[in-house]
Amino acid sequence: MSKPLKQRPAQGPTGGVYKVDALKDLAESLNITLPDAVASALASDVEYRIHQVVEEAARFMRHGRRTTMTASDIDNALRVLNIEPLYGHTPYNPATFRRALPFPQSTSAGPVYFVEDEEIDFDRVLREEKITLPKGVTWNAHWLAVEGVQPLIPENPPAIPREAAPDPNAPAPDGTLANVMSADGKTSQAVPQVNGGSLPGANLAAANSKLTQQQQQQLVKQVLSRELQLYYARLTGSLLPPTSDFAKRTAALASLRSDAGLQALLPYLIRWVAEGVVGALKEGAHTDADGKVLEVLMDVVSALLENHALFVEPYLHQILPPVLSTLLHSSLPPSHATQLRTAAAQTLSRLLTQHSTTYPSLSPRIMKTLLLALISPGKNKGTREGAIRGLVGVGKEAVRKGLVEGGGAKVVSSECKNSSSRESVALLNTAMEALQVLQPPPSDMTDSLNRENPADHAIITKLVDLVGEHFAARIANDSAWAREIVGIAPTDS
Amino acid sequence: MSAATPSSSHSPAAAASPANASQEVAPSLSPYDQAILDYLRARGHHDAEKAFLQEVVEGRTPDDKTKPPEEIGKDEFIRTLAVFAQKNSRPGENQLKDSGTVLQELTSMGNPSAIQNLIASIGAVGSEEVIAADPTDREEGFRELEAWVDGSLDMYRPEFRPILFPIFCHFYLDLIQKGFKDAAQKFYSTFSGSLLASHSATLHHLSTLLLPAHVQNDELAQRFMNEKYAIKMSRSGLSLLVGWLTEAFGGEAMGSGAGFVGEQGKRGRVAVMAVVNNHLSFQMTSTNPTAVSPNAWEESTGLLSSLIPQASGSTTNLTNPQAFNTGKGDLKLGPAPISEDLRTETERVIREQALLDREPVPYDIQMTRTNIPQGLVAPTEADLLPHPPTFKTIDIEREVSAVRDARKRIRLEPSALNNIDPNSSQATLQRSRALPSICAYTLHDVTEGSPCMTFSQDTSLMAAGFAESYIRIWNLKGDKLRGFRSDFQASSVKDVASLQKIREKKGSTTRKLIGHSGPVYSVAFDPICGSAAPPKYLLSGSADATVRLWSMDTLTNVVAYRGHENPVWDVKWSPMGIYFATGSRDRTARLWSTDRTTCLRIYAGHLSDVDCVQFHPNSLYLATGSSDWTARLWDVQRGTSVRVFIGHQAPVSCMAMSPDGRYLATAGEDLAINLWDLGSGKRIKKMTGHNSSIYSLSFSAESSLLVSGGADWTVRCWDVKGAGGLKTKAGENGVVEAVNRGSRNEETQGTSADLLATFPTKRTPITNVQFTPRNLCLAGGVYLSPEQR
């Protein structure tokens, strides 16, 4: 009897629900033979009447605040339509329809259903069965929402899990790190900051990432204990501004270097560093104060990396931008420039030695960034210097690749050929220092290359070709060094 | 009408041109005009005759002359008509026999004169030959029409789509009426698909009509046959339609067929034209068709003429609900006045209490003075329903507690949520300010269902009506419900203490009230005590057609109000008590007073059941929602309908009035909540998001938030003031998600932007939501255990 009202099937009335055959069967059972036309008209009419009753019953269902039609709805509908109700149907025990076995004579008749009529033995029922009264209606109350938030209590349905958003903060090193780092948008964040020209864009990107970070942090909703929050406030307060007490700062850095319980604070600290670096660099970074700020921040990063209790790897891609920015920024405060770049390069070096084993594509990526800064035209001398320092930090092979094979030394020497400014000198010195990494361990016998010697001459030509006149002249003094750079195994000549 | 008609030479029938309009009677004149002419001639009024003829021929009515002349291709019209006349094809339904009346009607509708010419010439043919022997004509005609509508320009398509539905219905009914049952069913199954989305209920009903006798007896079918289906259309749209009907040009999609070709195509076109002429009435709009919102058609399309009440004495059928609403003048929607004595007394009590409680801040006396919101006219005491001239202690207590409630109310400001990033930190703070706390009362172990539920205003009592014909009340505070005994000596009652003595000794926190003989569909506590004290009376309406008044003192039935002939669907107290209103299946709403057993007023006019009733906060007006898909606002005292709200596409299931008296919210079985402005009768917005029937609506005390509960087991919060429209997606568990999350699933597709939050329950259809005077939201429902069907 029950019939779901919602989502009525979109079928037309073709054929009708009440079949002509059914009507004919009924007529035959009453010993009446119906002509086809009459039967079909009657079937149509019966169907119409059924629909009338059902539509009426639907109103009772609606006002009964139900979505399922019950026998009582039909009863009520029949009553208001002034038709005698059908007795014997109650919503308590709905009629069960059973399908009859297929009738062998006429297979085309289709399935036949009948109502199962169970026989009840009164004696047995009265004697044996205990009839239990249904429980009375009870109520309970609960908070469906408290100030617009649904409390997670057993009475409320469980929260629907939100679909996994790409969340870089989640400690899932394989997937997310690769995901974010390979996304060109992220790695290039460090690059635009290198050439000072496109700084606004970089800021925008940084601001964007800050925003998304914020959002994601809200989504993750990591609850920091009050103690940690206090600690964080004290820590950052004692580190910056750099004019504060030196002893305090040392203590703070020491705490960062060694304390074990800082994992929960790590994302916040890294964000704080990143924001600090961006802030300092954005303002032009010419004043001493800015330099000091950057210095402290670099110290913080290296302290964090030194802390063995911290699991830094998931946050690598967030540590790298500030480090690389410091390293490669065009105009660091002159008083601190060298120191800062050295510190940044050292941090980078430490980072790589610690993590390049578990994250193999890290050093190639950094290499690429550094190379770009070193070789591509139009870069500032400061940037080039930083890049060289970075390469030194990455390692010997990196220096060879960048300065010698990549032509970095040539670029540097050609740029500094005719200038004797402080910057050029510093840059040349840095490059020289970097090249010295390639210098084999000093032996007591250092002989210079002989121009007369054809083999040596070839080496010199090649050297000039690789590193340019300036460096070639200086390197030529040590033949083993030169051979090392050119890539010829030292021969015993 | 000075255009010469080239084709008139070989078609005298269509010669509606001045060339033939000589002193002799033009053959094109309709019988109606002919009769007038004959009369004038017989009486010898030659001048009048001449003038009349002139007028008839020049331009049917003076109205026509004001029409812009360039909009119609009259020549083309008449030319095509001439072709038709020649072919002697069927001119239309038999209604067209008397083209004069049609003409008149069309004239009164203000259609372009082109159509009138069309009709005039068709009428002149006067052929009653029926070519409908071939039912495929209609199929062909509808296919062509659908192809044309779908192929029309984007800017016209929303305008043209509503035409399909009435034409479909008429074709189907025509086929049924002519006895082509199989053809009708084929027609239905072929073409109903695209229309089912928006008209499933009506179409389903029509599909059950299979015999001519059904069409004759069915109410909806008769409405289709006898009433005009109103359609709003721009002038340019209509001229395109007319052009297509006559010439089969314009708006054709590429490759969708070359229009009506061949004999059958023409007959199909004639069939479409016949329906357009006889059963559609076009309302001209000057607005740009693209500027119309997608839901606007709901308000001005349909068989409207009988839905809009007729002003007494006037014979014109209004087809525009706005015209009716504006014609009824302004309403007094301001708050009801309080008598001066009652107010001074209330102020005195408040001041005393403030002193007594040593409250640091005395209650704001001004709170008792109701300030009238801007733009609303407040009624005077004379406008109100008659009430006892003196006030009682309980009245003062009620007013005092109303002031206290207003002070302690939780303010809900959903507008604060606008322009706030849902993920930012302020959002959580703002949400707590914008959204209410909801306390859900769930009934368990209900065997046959509980159609209604209500809470008293002081939240001390809860009542539920059950399908098993009884009502159960619970004391929510845990106190025992003890009624007065009936075996006492009247002389023994002297004071309050002795009155307490005659209460029953035993009692429980719940009580069953037995008296009805059918499912109880509505219960309501009386509002006289307000939030100051437990209510004294309970009203209930039932399928046994009675309304019963139950005393909460004796816990027995006091009065049975008989008068309705059919189940009473809804009963509501007037905001000041004493009076109450009922809505019933007998298509009337009635006003009663508790002290009379017969009703005071009958509000008749709805075409179907009155499903819900709701008083205006100042008790001057009564809103009714009906199964005829409309809601109306009645003047309680005069009994006349003052506003009609057309826009739902299904029966109206429940409604709520905003406490500030400005808005009416109605929820329909089309799963939409419509918000109406009472003053203008216009729809403000349509709110969608529920995916099953909506059972209950309630406004917060500031009228800024609307809460709805329904059969989809959720309670939803809506921003009343916010802009609607389908835009954002709100997640479950009250999480408002970012907009750019991408479509999550289909369920959130049809959700409008003003849905603030959704709070799902486990398996409880919410039958009642209501706000307490302090803006706590109470929700009630019956838990639906999974094994229950």
A371-410 tens-digit pLDDT: 888 887 777 777 888 888 888 888 877 787 777 777 777 7
Contact residues, B window 646-705, toward A, CB-based 8 Å cutoff: 651, 653, 669, 692-693, 695
- Asked if B192 lies within 8 A of A6 by C-beta distance, the reply is no
* pLDDT the model gives residue B425: 61
Cβ–Cβ contact B439 with A under 8 A: yes
Check: CB of residue B675 under 8 Å from CB of residue B685.
yes
Strand ranges (E), B606-735: 610-615, 621-626, 630-635, 641-646, 652-657, 663-668, 672-677, 683-688, 694-699, 705-710, 714-719
Q: Which two structure tokens, joined as six digits, stand for B44?
A: 């010898």
* pLDDT the model gives residue B675: 94
* pLDDT the model gives residue B440: 94
In chain A, the percentage of residues whose pLDDT exceeds 90 is 4
Cβ–Cβ contact A420 with B under 8 A: no
Cβ–Cβ contact B561 with A under 8 A: no
**Region A238-266: what's the mean pLDDT?**
80
A123-132, B207-216, B451-460: which is most confident: B451-460
Within 8 A of B428 by CB-CB distance, chain A residues are 149
* pLDDT the model gives residue B312: 52
Testing the interface with B: which of A51, A81, A147, A216 to mutate, by most B Cβ within 10 A?
A147
**Region A205-219: what's the mean pLDDT?**
49
CA distances, A342 to each of A306, A338, A412, A422, B610 (Å):
17, 6, 18, 17, 85
Q: Which two structure tokens, joined as six digits, stand for B129?
A: 């030959």
- Asked if B181 lies within 8 A of A55 by C-beta distance, the reply is no
Q: Residue B287: pLDDT band by 50, 70, 90 thresholds?
A: low
Q: Residue B106: pLDDT band by 50, 70, 90 thresholds?
A: very low
* pLDDT the model gives residue B29: 60
- Asked if A137 lies within 8 A of B761 by C-beta distance, the reply is no
CA-based angle A103:A105:A111, to the nearest 5?
30
Q: Is pLDDT larger for residue A206 or for residue B37?
A: B37
Render pLDDT for B585-599 as a digit per residue (tens, 0 to 9). Answer: 999 999 999 999 999
Testing the interface with A: which of B208, B437, B462 to mutate, by most A Cβ within 10 A?
B208
* pLDDT the model gives residue B68: 41
- Asked if B609 lies within 8 A of A68 by C-beta distance, the reply is no
Q: Residue B97: pLDDT band by 50, 70, 90 thresholds?
A: very low
B571 to chain A, closest Cα gap in Å: 13
A31-45, A172-186, B205-219, B498-512: least confident range = A172-186
Which of B207, B437, B744 is closest, CB to CB, to A146? B437
A62-76, A274-288, B441-455, B479-493: least confident range = A274-288
* pLDDT the model gives residue A329: 80
* pLDDT the model gives residue A105: 65
Which of B204, B476, B732 is closest, CB to CB, to A160? B732
* pLDDT the model gives residue B580: 95
**Region B712-740: what's the mean pLDDT?**
64
Strand ranges (E), A354-490: none
Testing the interface with B: which of A36, A72, A139, A216 to mutate, by most B Cβ within 10 A?
A139
A327-341, B276-290, B668-682: least confident range = B276-290
Q: Is pLDDT larger for residue B646 or for residue B297?
A: B646
Cβ–Cβ contact B175 with A under 8 A: no
Within 8 A of A14 by CB-CB distance, chain B residues are 185-186, 188-189
B163-167, B221-225, B601-605: which is most confident: B601-605
* pLDDT the model gives residue B22: 41
Render pLDDT for B15-61 as a digit per residue (tens, 0 to 9). Answer: 344 444 344 444 456 666 777 777 667 766 777 676 666 666 554 44
Q: Is pLDDT larger for residue B787 or for residue B11?
A: B787
Check: CB of residue B435 under 8 Å from CB of residue A148.
yes
Q: Which two structure tokens, joined as six digits, stand for B294?
A: 């997608």
In chain A, where the domains are located: 18-95, 220-443, 444-493
Q: What share of chain A is helix, strand, coil (3-state, %, to 5)?
A: 60, 5, 35
CB contacts < 8 A (A, B): 201
Q: Which residue of A has its CA nearest to B441?
A: A141
Within 8 A of B467 by CB-CB distance, chain A residues are 64, 72
- Asked if B185 lies within 8 A of A14 by C-beta distance, the reply is yes
* pLDDT the model gives residue B86: 38
**Region B358-374: what's the mean pLDDT?**
60
Cβ–Cβ contact B716 with A under 8 A: no
A13-17, A162-166, B4-8: which is most confident: A13-17
CA dist., res. A396 & res. A403, Å (int): 10
pTM to 2 decimals? 0.63
Q: Is pLDDT larger for residue A87 or for residue A223?
A: A87
- Asked if B569 lies within 8 A of A63 by C-beta distance, the reply is yes
Query: What are all long-range contacts of A73-80, with beta carbons under 8 Å and residues at least 24 apart?
Result: A74/A1, A76/B518, A76/B519, A76/B543, A76/B567, A77/A53, A78/A53, A80/A56, A80/B566, A80/B567, A80/B585
Cβ–Cβ contact B710 with A under 8 A: no
Which of A11, A41, A80 is closest, CB to CB, to B566? A80
* Mean residue pLDDT across chain B: 77
Cβ–Cβ contact A8 with B under 8 A: yes
Q: Is pLDDT larger for residue B357 or for residue B651?
A: B651
Q: Is pLDDT larger for residue A106 or for residue B608?
A: B608
Contact residues, B window 565-624, toward A, CB-based 8 Å cutoff: 566-567, 569, 585, 609, 611
Q: Is the ipTM of this complex over 0.90?
A: no
Cβ–Cβ contact A105 with B under 8 A: no
* pLDDT the model gives residue B321: 77
**Region A348-358: what's the mean pLDDT?**
82
Cβ–Cβ contact A9 with B under 8 A: no
Contact residues, A window 113-142, toward B, CB-based 8 Å cutoff: 134-142
- Asked if A10 lies within 8 A of B196 by C-beta distance, the reply is yes
Contact residues, A window 313-352, toward B, CB-based 8 Å cutoff: none
CA dist., res. B231 & res. B238, Å (int): 10
Within 8 A of A155 by CB-CB distance, chain B residues are 440, 442, 762
Q: Which residues pair with B582 in a beta bridge?
A: B571, B590
B5-19, B332-346, B379-393: least confident range = B5-19
Q: A86 pLDDT exceeds 60?
A: yes
Q: B357 pLDDT exceeds 70?
A: yes
B509 to chain A, closest Cα gap in Å: 11
Cβ–Cβ contact A62 with B under 8 A: yes
Class level of CATH domain A18-95: mainly alpha
- Asked if B757 lies within 8 A of A139 by C-beta distance, the reply is no
> What are the backbone angles phi and psi of residue A269, rounded to the nearest 5°?
-65, -45
Q: Name the nearest CA neighbour of A408 among A489, A485, A478, A331.
A: A485
* C-alpha dihedral, A241 to A242 to A244 to A250, nearest 10°: 120
Which of A44, A134, A155 is closest, CB to CB, to B181? A44
A327-331, A352-356, B432-436, B564-568: which is most confident: B564-568
Q: Name the nearest CA neighbour of B458 among B506, B394, B519, B502.
A: B394
* pLDDT the model gives residue B636: 93
Within 8 A of B188 by CB-CB distance, chain A residues are 12-14
- Asked if A60 lies within 8 A of B567 by C-beta distance, the reply is yes
Residues 6+ apart with CB under 8 A from B374: none
- Asked if A140 lies within 8 A of B732 by C-beta distance, the reply is no
- Asked if B438 lies within 8 A of A144 by C-beta distance, the reply is yes
Element (H, E) at B64: helix B62-66
* pLDDT the model gives residue A178: 34
Cβ–Cβ contact B210 with A under 8 A: yes
Cβ–Cβ contact A72 with B under 8 A: yes
Q: Name the nearest CA neighbour of A482 among A492, A493, A307, A466.
A: A466
A152-166, A332-346, B526-540: least confident range = A152-166
Cβ–Cβ contact A10 with B under 8 A: yes
CA dist., res. B525 & res. B435, Å (int): 26
Render pLDDT for B234-272 as a digit per residue (tens, 0 to 9). Answer: 888 888 888 888 765 544 444 444 444 566 677 777 888
Q: B302 pLDDT exceeds 60?
A: yes
Q: Which residues pair with B550 in a beta bridge?
A: B538, B557
**Region B211-230: what's the mean pLDDT?**
86
Contact residues, A window 36-55, toward B, CB-based 8 Å cutoff: 41, 44-45, 47-48, 51-52, 55
CA dist., res. B333 & res. B642, Å (int): 12
Cβ–Cβ contact B733 with A under 8 A: yes
Cβ–Cβ contact A14 with B under 8 A: yes
* pLDDT the model gives residue B262: 61
Testing the interface with A: which of B648, B692, B733, B758 to mutate, by most A Cβ within 10 A?
B733
Q: B153 pLDDT exceeds 70?
A: yes
Exposure string of A55-94, with b = 16+ CB inside 10 Å and e = fewer, is ebbbbbbbbbbbbbbbbbbbbbbbbbeeeeeeeebebeee
Q: Which CATH architecture has domain A220-443?
A: Alpha Horseshoe (1.25)
Strand order in the sheet with B579-584: B568-573, B579-584, B588-593, B601-604
- Asked if B193 lies within 8 A of A10 by C-beta distance, the reply is yes
Q: A157 pLDDT exceeds 60?
A: yes
CA distances, B775 to each of A169, B323, B407, B702, B722 (Å):
40, 37, 11, 9, 19
Check: CB of residue A484 under 8 Å from CB of residue A463.
no
Which of A13, A65, A145 is closest, CB to CB, to B437? A145
- Round the CA-based radius of gyration of chain A to a whole number and report it: 42
